[in-house]
Amino acid sequence: MSQGSGESGSSVPSAPLISVQDLSNPPGPSSPLQQPDDLISSSPLTDQVTVTADETSPSSTSSFEIIDMEAVPSAYEAVQPHWFYCRRADTKDSWMPFSTEDSQKLEQAYMLNRHISPRLGEGESCDRGSVLGGGCPGGLGEEEEVVVPTEGERYDVRLRERRRCAVYWEQAPTEVRRCTWFYKGDKDSRFLPYPEDFSQRLEEAYKISVTLDKWKRKLDFPTGEMVILHNPKLIMQYQPITQQDEWVSSPSEQTRPRTVKRGLENISVEIPDGEPEKVDHLVFMVHGIGPACDLRFRSIIQCVNDFRSASLSLLNTHFRKAQEEQAVGRVEFLPVNWHSALHGDATGVDEDIQRITLPSISRLRHFTNDTLLDLFFYNSPTYCQTIVDTVASEINRLYRLFLQRHPQFAGAVSVAGHSLGSLILFDLMTNQRTGPGESNGLRGKVDTDAPPHDYRSLEEALKRLGLEELIAVFKAEQLDLQSLALCSENDLKDLGIPLGPRKKILNFMSRRWILQDLKARSPLLAFGQQSSTEGEQASSPAPLEHPFLRPVSTTSAVDYEYFDVGIGQPNLGIATGQVSINYPQLDFHPQTFFAFGSPIGMFLTVRGLKRIDPSYSFPTCKSFFNIYHPFDPVAYRMEPMIVPDMEIEPMLIPHHKGRKRMHLELKESLTRMSTDLKNNVLGSLRTAWQSFSRLPIAALPPVGEGESNTSGLSVQEMEGPKVEEVEATSASERQTEEQNIEIGMLNGGRRIDYVLQEKPIESFNEYLFAIQSHLCYWESEDTALLVLKEIYEKLGVVLEQPQS
C-alpha cells in the first residue's frame, strides 16, 4: 500500500501537507483554476490546525488563520481506536482484531506512554519496505519498550516496534496497528485498516470538516491518493492510476473508488471474545506424522488454536453458572512440535533420504518422505531416541516457561496426543519414574498373586495363591510342580477343582513357564519399552515383577519388556547399534492422558503384547482416554487388550448439544421397531400354532375376567414376556450399565474407549470420509467437551447441559 508514505525530516518531523479543495463551490469565471481553496497542516501533538487560505480566494479574509478546535463548539467526537494484527496465510495478509480486553490493554499502555513519542534523528526516515509497513507509528520512545501480553499471554506485543511475537513457539513476528480508519475495495471481502499515519491525516481533515460544517471536500495526499469527504457517512478514496495493478486495463476499473469508514462501529467485523486470565488446567498436545495436521495442511499451532477456541466456546455454554460464580477460568492448550527437529539440519535425515529417492512422481515421494516416513523413523532406534528426546524436552521447556508467565498457577497438567503422537506419549508414560529409587516407570506394583519362578514346592505355591485347601488333593494324586505343568484344564476339572481355583493354577503355571524361559536366555530389550542405562539395568527388579505379563496366554510366550523385535540380531547380519531407548523424564506428573485417533493397540500387538494386566496403570498418570472416530482407519481399541473375554461396545461420546445425532436416533428407532415387529409376528404365529395343535377340552369351564388358568398366567402373559423385556431396556440404560463396568486400572477402573458420533453425511460412505475422520479431532466440539468434562469433574465443577 502507498497510503501515508513516510517522509524524512529533522528531529521533529512535520506532517505532510494535504491539499483540501471545496467541491461545493465550483470555481467561477473570475476565480483561478487549478488552485486549492485551503492547505491544511497539523501537528499530531496539538489540537490546533493551520488553514492556509489562497490569497485570491473570495472567501478568504486573511492569509493565515489559526483555528482552536477546543474553542469552537461542534458535534465532533474523537474516534475510538481498536488494535489489529496482521495474519499471513497463503502469501496473503489479513487483518484480525484483538479482543476487546486486549485492545483496551494496548490502548492504555499506548496512552500512558504517549509522552515519550519517538523522535527521528537527522537523516532518518520511516522504512516503508520493512515488516511493519505502516510508517513510523507514534507513541513510544526509542530507548523504552513496552511489552503487553495478549491472547492469554501466548503473544507479546511490543508497542514501539508494533510487533506481535509468539511466546511459546517459533513464528515470524507480525505487524500491529492502532486502527481508526478503514477501507474496502470491490474485490475486498472485508474492511481493511489504514496505516496509522494515513488514518491520522484523515482524522484531522474529518475534524475540520465537522467543526466548520464544510463537506464535499477533496483531499489530495502527497502520495497520489485522493479522498473525497461528501458527508460524514459517505467518504471515498481514489488511487492514482500509476499504482493500479498492471493487469487492470479498463478505465472503469482504474477509477473505481474505495469505500472509507471511520471507526470500528461503522464496519462489520467480529471481535473475538476475551479469555479469562485464570488458568485452571494445562494440556500439552503432541501431533502425529508430518508437518500438517488436517486436510487444509495447517500446522499443529493452528489446529491447537482451533481446539482452544472450541473449548472456550463450550465453557461459555456448558459451564455458564460456574463462570458467573467465577468458579472456573479456562484451560490452556499448548502445541508440542517434534517434526521440525527430526527433519531439521541437525539430523541430516532429509538429505540422506533425498539422495536415494527416485526422481519420478516427485510430489508423491516428497509427501511420503515428509509424512509417512515418520512411522519408520519412530521404529528406528536412532531416530526414535531423537523423537522422544524432542517431545520430552519440548514439553518440559513449555512447562517451565508457562510457570514463569503464570506464577500463580496451581492447577494440574495433562497430555494429549494425536495418531503417532499418542504412541510417543504412551511410551513416555510407561517409562516414567515415580521416585528416584525406581529404575523405570514401566514397572508398577507387583501383583500379590504373581508367583516367583523359583518356588521350591507345590505347597509353597498353593499357599501363595491362597489355595491351601487343595494341597491334600494334589498330594493324593502325587503331583508336584513339574507334573502339574503337564496338566490341562480338563485334568484339573476331573480332579474336582472349581473354575476359579482352576484358572488361578493355569495362570500360575503359564507365568512360571514363561519367566523360567526368559531367565534362561539373555534379555533382549525392545526399543520403545525400556530405559537402557547401566545404572537402571543394575537396579531393575526381576522380570517376574512385570505388571503387563500377568494374564498371557499359554500359546504365546511373549514378554512386553523383553520381546525380541529382530533389530540388530546376528541372524540378520546387520549391526544397527543400540536397540533400547533411554526415556527422559517429565518435570510433572500428568493428571490425564488423552489419545486421539490412536494406533497404540495395534503397535502393542505388533510388539508382541497379548494382554495388559488389569491392575496396571501408568506410574505417574492415573487416567487414560482412548478417543476415536468410528471411521478412523488409524485408530484401534484398548479395552479388548485388558478384558479380552468381555465383549462390550465403546462408550458413545454425547453430542455437545445434549443428544444423539438425529440419524443415529432414527437408526436405533428403526432397529427397535423391527425387533418389536419381529417379536410380535413370532408371538402371533406361536399363538396360532398352539390354537391349532391344542386338543378341544369342553369339560373345562371358561376363564372369566380376573381369573386365571391352571398355570396362573393369562394368554397375553404367556405370549409376550420377551417383548416386554425388550421394551423395558432402553438404550440409555444399557449405556449407563456399560459405563459402570470396571476396565482395569489404566483409567482408574473406568471405561477407556470412547467413540465419536459420525455425522449424517459421513454415514453414507465411510470409505470416502476415512482420511477426514482421522483428522477431525482438532475441530470436534464433542471431543473438546469430553476433555473439559474430565478436567472439571476432578475440580468439583459439574457440566451443565444447555437448553436446545
How many other β-carbons are positioned within 10 Å of the β-carbon of residue 596? 30
**790 phi-psi bin (left φ>0, alpha ψ -120 to 50, beta other):** alpha
Give the active site residue among 209, 419, 623, 780: 419
| Helix residue ranges per DSSP H, 167-224 | 196-212
Q: What angle do CA 475, 479, 482 make, to 5 degrees?
A: 150
For cell 467561477, name the residue: 28
User: Edge to edge, what strands does the sheet with 181-184 contain?
Assistant: 64-68, 48-53, 38-42, 18-22, 217-220, 226-231, 234-238, 258-262, 181-184, 192-193
Distances (CA, A) of 391 to 370, 383, 777: 18, 12, 20
Q: Which of 534, 529, 469 is nearest to 505 (CA)?
A: 469
How many other β-carbons are positioned within 10 Å of the β-carbon of residue 281? 24
Half-sphere exposure of 146 (CA within 13 A, CB side): 19
Please tell me the distance from the alpha carbon of residue 53 to that of residue 262, in angstroms, as a whole number: 27
Q: Which of 650, 603, 595, 597 is nearest to 774 (CA)?
A: 597
Please tell me the distance from the alpha carbon of residue 343 to that of residue 370, in angstroms, as a whole number: 8
Joined grid coordinates for residue 783 = 471431543
**162 phi-psi bin (left φ>0, alpha ψ -120 to 50, beta other):** left
Is the distance from CB of 205 to CB of 229 less than 8 angstroms?
yes
Enumerate the β-bridge partners of residue 418.
596
Could you tell me whether strands 279-286 and 330-336 are parallel, antiparallel, or unpaired per DSSP bridges? parallel
Please tell me the distance from the alpha carbon of residue 760 to that of residue 664, in angstroms, as a whole number: 8
Contacts 24+ apart (CB under 8 A), 70-75: 72/211, 74/210, 74/211, 74/213, 75/210
Q: Which of 222, 261, 226 is nearest to 240 (CA)?
A: 226
For cell 526414535, name the residue: 384
Helix axes 781-793, 300-318, angle to 10 degrees: 60
For cell 498418570, name the residue: 621
Q: Is 11 one of the annotated active-site residues of the chain? A: no
Q: Which of 762, 787, 789, 764 is nearest to 776 (CA)?
A: 762
Distances (CA, A) of 126 to 41, 86, 141, 212: 20, 19, 15, 33
How many other β-carbons are positioned within 10 Å of the β-carbon of residue 70? 8
How many other β-carbons are positioned within 10 Å of the β-carbon of residue 619? 21
Distances (CA, A) of 13 to 76, 107, 190, 329, 417: 27, 23, 33, 47, 54
- Phi/psi of residue 323, each to 5°? -70, -40
Q: Which of 181, 224, 186, 185 is nearest to 204 (CA)?
A: 181
Q: Which residues contact 379 (CB under 8 A, 6 or more apart)?
A: 528
Please tell me the distance from the alpha carbon of residue 103 to that of residue 107, in angstroms, as a whole number: 6
Please tell me the distance from the alpha carbon of residue 780 to that of residue 665, in angstroms, as a whole number: 20
Please tell me the distance from the alpha carbon of residue 211 to that of residue 188, in angstroms, as a whole number: 32
List active site positions. 419
